[in-house]
Structure 1
């Protein structure tokens, strides 16, 4: 909840509190004095509150106003616990709730208001202990914070996936400012757009001899502001190295920026000036884990010495932790090398036996989408499956005892159920009496579509689900598991076998390849620790789908079909057998879906042979190992 919302909430509570207090007692009683003092303090009407005390009015008003700044408090709320009278003396016990404006529990404490009759009117007997029982004359509140540096996102071996970037933390030592705190806050506010009262509260709430970060800048922004900042007497700058410069896969790791007035207001959480904020990718998804929450102490200080007198409350904060991913640097480097020779392509590599994502890469733009990248394209992109979906269709057909040796014609055109299919010019080389396996390997859409009557819509749907298409698996980043529409008849089934009415993501197809390679489909994994970006909501989340083994009678022939699909293609590069299919998905997009050894991959390319990208990837991976 943002600071503004907390203040509104407090105002709403105030109305209820005022009404409740009004009806508690009949006059004459100290009730009105208690009510007006606490309501005035809570609402910031310090004149009302001061008028119900026997102290110097200006002193009381200033003390109450200063307390709000000294605590950097978003709001105060009070609840009367008891009120008793003995002759001309009375006392009211109250419960205070102070919102310190950070992602900490409310500071709650019990206070006491002593009252007595002054010329027939009940007055609060004024002293600093009215604010808190441990606050004495010559003392004030302060809030001592200990922010933690941002933790890195790491690869599967624990090595950071980002380098350090310098941030410039601009702040003050309150003791050096003397009575110029308001002047400095005003000047800094004017050039940074941070609210003056927030800057002043942070200065006045901090221990005087401790550096107080007020505004944080990245390098370029700081350089444009440096001359203006240097002109403010009392401002000091501290350089901080933070692990925020992303390495491949950059868009999965995500970007980070310094806290700005806008993000501070929007977040309303543990972030303070001096912190960095995740803008995208895992940096944004795991912001709370990477930064933790600030260790905070509410203390009292001696006004003369500035030294701590008492510790009133302490929150140790939530420890920040690194985020461990499944990314493998050598696999990622091989992906970057293979993609570098293309105009526009996406690649996802997963470990075949675990579903762990080893590499995610992108090059250029596959479509006109301006935001297409590793996350939006490779993980969450919705692309036509084309004949790459024939892997899923083959699972259904083999279960229906369609033999890989079945002879199928591969004409240039064919109509099935009223739907017309045209064989792509580049998918030639299939003999008129080729087998199902040969047509699968060459991606003959007219031959594959002719098999629609061999399976039911339920058969195709079941195989799609068994290989993860459309299942509700999830990642900490946006992802897409695929979609298969309702299949009404032979035309729809034929289109599905040809992948013309099916949408998939490169990640989803890489998992299909991994399933055939290992014999079991598994949901994807990108982060191994912490398990969820939001631990509070983890218990309510739908569990990940369970692994699904492939029917043993299907697995062996399906592997042979995918071996045939890669034989003699650019994907078959380097040492070791490659399994896979090259498929068309419209006039420009092409797929390669397959595996070599322990690594399964899906490549989607525009105006480029995806098999060549896969071959380059496997070769680069072998060389790195």
Structure 2
């Protein structure tokens, strides 16, 4: 069928006219949108070319000259394009004389913010009963010749800084230094020895670095480590071929400073590139975690993107045809923007120092009572870079009794009201008991304040509070509701099921889970007298959707938490904090239960949560971390 694929191709009518008569009295042939009467349409040939270009393989096309030469030419043209190819579609087809056809090709590249588009032309000749492609470099771009190719370059805009609460940059572009071995400066017989000596000096894996050096080419520069200037070995020049090269990197005050919060930068993943719809390539530097990822578009800015027409490389002894280099496409770089966060650099540094020697996962969160900003959010080195401090999901234990107390107060209880604190409490088939060190003098009928400051499990597990009332009380203290606070944050889950689960939830076990950040919010809500949803990024604070705390409720909760510091389980915090609540929570497999230790507290200026995943008790394990932080 002569017009089999016309639905796929855009065909336009061209005006037909005659050139002035020549000396021979004949007119010049003109282009037409219809093939000569004795020839088939070239639609199939054009469709095959479009498909081949989109597959990056023209080696199977029917061509005037060898298709293998066309493929070699295609490969050369795109050698410097970083695997960036156009999406090709067909435009109009016109016919020239008795055996010629031309097709317009629409080229669309996923480059820059808006892409790069242009048209080119492919020529065909009808030879031996078939349409054959007359391959030319200009099919890829009108300005290309057999002597030129395209080259893609991309230069990232200077990445925006992350500033602390005083407006000073915490994270910004700084100098970093690559240290490696320049094999071209060392005799081949000395490569292995030099690589080993450099590995020892840098304190990196010797075997793997030596293998890496030997596997690279004879003139390769093989990087062993990237370090800050202060970490460059003073005797680096003693190693033959050792070279130090300055590079730019996005760095914080130290390699570990608030990394779980601030995040990291690096090359985009394949998934990020695919989801970017062409705005990212492997040459980009993007945020890969934390605030760097969340605010990547703001911090990254727009890179300088260029495609230049340059000369092809020629073999030794050959003469290169002169090529005038020129820019075919350019996207200018734009200035990136900074973001400001609430962290206090000195307090964050001290919190990390306090946790440095802590075994296992531990965290400290400090919130400014005056504005709700997160002043510090630190975790132990053993916790790695996952943000357990703001997004960990742990049973809060008895610290959650602050929420249970609020629910009880809303049902008419007061700190002086009598509550029942038996040695054990059976709920359906499960029996609750108090911790082993609970004072026997505080059992039986006792004031609510006494049950709170000594942390009576049975009194709170048996409280006349429904699941709905417990959830509402928690929400008024800033937890149990999923807020988007502008950073990776977990505000906990309060969703008890059956009666046993409800009783367990009232003492911070069962299905109740919280992050250290969430429990710091509870203390901040009591200390400030208003529901506090902590914020980290300026302009990105979440608003509470819960019923607010009343002045009476605030006064009563403060009374309970002050009693805990004055004469309860948080006496270690006297002189440092005004009110507090300790907590322990059991977790793990039956027969191999472990205990987490908690302490939440506040004073006139800040609220704090201290958490140790595997500890003894809140008073003996978590409280000392707060003492160290504020002493």
Same-fold call, TM cutoff 0.5: yes
Counterpart of 2:526 (choices 512, 516, 520) is 516
How has the CA–CA distance of structure 1 residues 549 and 219 changed in structure 2, closer, same or farther, with 3 Å as cutoff? farther
Considering fraction of residues, name the structure with more helix. Answer: 1
Q: Which residue of 2 aligns with 1:437?
A: 449
Inter-partner Cα distance in structure 1 for 2:603 and 2:565: 10
Deviation of 1:43 (Å): 3.5
| C-alpha contact 2:5 2:43 (8 A) present in aligned 1 | no
Deviation of 1:471 (Å): 0.9
> Is 1:330 matched up with 2:346?
yes
Inter-partner Cα distance in structure 1 for 2:59 and 2:354: 72
How has the CA–CA distance of structure 1 residues 148 and 464 changed in structure 2, closer, same or farther, with 3 Å as cutoff? same
Counterpart of 1:29 (choices 14, 33, 41) is 41
Counterpart of 1:396 (choices 407, 414, 420) is 407
Per-residue CA shift, 1:495-532, capped at 9, x if unaligned?
Answer: 33322322222211111111111222233323347x69
Q: Which residue of 1 aligns with 2:94?
A: 84
Per-residue CA shift, 1:228-258, capped at 9, x if unaligned?
Answer: 546137999854142345333343334566x
Q: Which residue of 1 aligns with 2:27?
A: none
> Is 1:584 matched up with 2:595?
no
Equivalent positions of 1:129-144 (< 5 A) are 129-135=138-144, 138-144=147-153
Give the SS at the match of 2:451.
helix
Q: Which residue of 2 aligns with 1:369?
A: none
Equivalent positions of 1:38-437 (< 5 A) are 38-49=50-61, 51-53=62-64, 60-85=70-95, 87-88=97-98, 90-99=101-110, 105-113=114-122, 128-135=137-144, 138-148=147-157, 153-157=162-166, 158-161=168-171, 165-167=176-178, 220=204, 224=210, 225-226=212-213, 229=216, 231-232=218-219, 239-244=246-251, 246-254=255-263, 268=273, 270-272=280-282, 281-283=290-292, 291=300, 294-301=303-310, 309-316=325-332, 320-322=336-338, 324-339=340-355, 343=359, 345-363=362-380, 372=383, 375-415=386-426, 419-428=430-439, 430=442, 434-437=446-449
Per-residue CA shift, 1:544-572, capped at 9, x if unaligned?
Answer: 65475212331211112211122144443
Q: Which residue of 1 aligns with 2:615?
A: 607
Give the SS at the match of 1:251.
helix
Inter-partner Cα distance in structure 1 for 2:357 and 2:578: 21
Gapped runs of 5+ residues in structure 1?
1-15, 172-217, 366-371, 533-542
| C-alpha contact 2:597 2:621 (8 A) present in aligned 1 | no
Q: Which residue of 2 aligns with 1:561?
A: 560
Query: Which structure has more RCO (C-alpha within 8 Å, separation ≥ 6)?
Result: 1
Give the SS at the match of 2:421.
coil
Inter-partner Cα distance in structure 2 for 1:373 and 1:128: 52
Inter-partner Cα distance in structure 2 for 1:295 and 1:219: 37
Give the SS at the match of 1:408.
strand
How has the CA–CA distance of structure 1 residues 548 and 170 changed in structure 2, closer, same or farther, with 3 Å as cutoff? farther
Give me the TM-score of the superposition, normalised by structure 1.
0.71
| C-alpha contact 2:156 2:285 (8 A) present in aligned 1 | no
Gapped runs of 5+ residues in structure 2?
12-32, 183-201, 224-242, 275-279, 313-319, 587-593
Aligned length: 532
Deviation of 1:147 (Å): 3.4
Inter-partner Cα distance in structure 1 for 2:334 and 2:348: 32
**Most deviating of 131-140 and 398-407:** 131-140
How has the CA–CA distance of structure 1 residues 168 and 109 changed in structure 2, closer, same or farther, with 3 Å as cutoff? farther
**Once superposed, what is the RMSD of the aligned Cα atoms?**
4.3
